[in-house]
Structure 1
Amino acid sequence: MRFRAEISNPSQFARLISSLSPLGKSATLKLTEETTHLICMPTGTKSDVQVWRCDSIFNTSTMRVESNNNNEIYLQLSLDHLAKALRSASGATQVTAKLAKRGGNQGKGDGAYPVLSLVIESSSRLGKRLGITQDVAVKVLKTDDLKELKEPLCPQPEVIVILPALQKLRTVTERLKTISSHVTISANNLGELRLRAEADEAKVETEWRGLKRPNGESMTAEVDDPAEFFSVTLDTKNLLRFLNTYAVATTTIACFCSNHCAIFYVYVGESKDKVQGGVLTFYVPAIKIDGDDED
């Protein structure tokens, strides 16, 4: 089993991992010859957020993936440990990731364990080449471990819309959190979006108008009236976990499956015209007003 590749944008990757850390302690890195998936699964309840990312974390021209499982490798690792290792890559000229072994007898025999080794190269102020290595312990998943790694099945959404800046949505949601533990999001196909929180003492609603819809999208179910609103009620904490990606997001597309779930496609990069870091896909399940999970 072999893996080696250069990280396309170490600083952006570091910000991404930091933004995902609140979702859970660990993630699964799925490596193939052509794509990379970073998967954050629920911690055990149906109401948790799932994240699936397919993107260009690694430079495919330098990528080498070899295994007996159709040249696919699945690595489970700590998001916190990976975030700490990537902090050393700030200002690096090149970062190469590779699968290695440590411990035992020079990485062999009893006591040896697998790591994702980050070889970080940079230059000093005098132009001297500097290099350090950061190791992140990983668990190599076997076939039996992969049964739970399945993307959730969702109905066809009724509404699809490009969201306002996530930082603005996060600010509004933080305020709504003081009113209720859940937020209802409603939208229609005319580009209107509403966030509402209510309790016995108060009801607060914020509305956006004139939002755009993705060009050429035909993902939505047939809706007779484009002005009709469709709603999904989400746990406020789950919504905020998704909104923590505001630091790396450029454009975010939201799909609402009425009373079932919300799906958010977060395009990561430094330019809205060019997706440099791929796409984060968030699945946020709906809850009932009484707090029970949807079936």
Structure 2
Amino acid sequence: MPELRVGERHWSVAPGSNLLDALNQNGVAVPYSCRAGSCHACLVQCVQGVPSDNRPDALSAEQRQQGWRLACQCQVVEDLQVHTFDPQVDGRPAEVVAVDWLSASVLRLRLTTERPLRYSAGQHLVLWAGNVARPYSLASLPEEDRFLEFHLDCRQPGAFSDAARQLKIGDPIRLGELRGGALHYDPDWHTRPLWLLAAGTGLAPLFGVLREALRQDHQGAIRVIHLAHEASEHYLAKPLQAMADGRSNLSVEFWTPAGLPQALAQLRLVSRQTLALVCGAPDSVDAFARRLYLAGLPRNQLLADVFVPRG
């Protein structure tokens, strides 16, 4: 049986054991969220030995060369020595500069770092509060904001959101891996119709993408749709409407589940050149995507980022 070693601890595991489970079940606390290889919260470094990896494409060649792997996607097939991500050593320090509620369930968190973080609209970042880590999309824009902004969905209890509720200005926090998802703005889209469809806090990265498009003076029509579980949870309605009031090519719409079937049925493309960026929970992303495909949107013109529930 292969042996798994972490620091001074070592124990035997069954061949083919999932690395994340083998660590957590033996008292080595490795955080995780999606278990699908998307969130990168379970990052570990293999110091000796190589696991079988279901998602070799999930990390960069440089990260893999350094031994980093996503524990949820790996199986132990030989003796393996692992270094778990230590936010105090491996993470980047940050400080809370603002924490406030945008709605009854959406908490806005703003952080600053000593050294500027290089990122783009649409990317997400792993945040560490103590030993709890979760990935969150960036809602800020590096060219315009001096802080990193995140929108936390606090409708349901969770280890990170519970810890975030207690944060105060000046509190330290650690940053993990920065990751680029499917969402971004490409200057080559300058004249094409752009649809941004979000559910819940899936609006956060698309708010950054929208601001980047406007910063680059996007000339095509921009349509923003936000689906919230109730009208009071359209937490960026005022800033979005203020943007639209001053721009003839920008429209915003606010949907709720009660009107969703009718709204989806009326969704029509005005151009086959339309690009659609979609973000939110799996069911909402699927509903948006299905309707867009039926409306004639080519599949390669839809970019989606799914907020996978903690598994």
Larger relative CO (CA 8 A, sep 6+): 1 or 2? Answer: 1
| TM-score normalized with structure 2 length | 0.24
Write 1 or 2 for the structure with the bigger share of helix: 2
| TM-score normalized with structure 1 length | 0.25
Write 1 or 2 for the structure with the bigger share of strand: 1
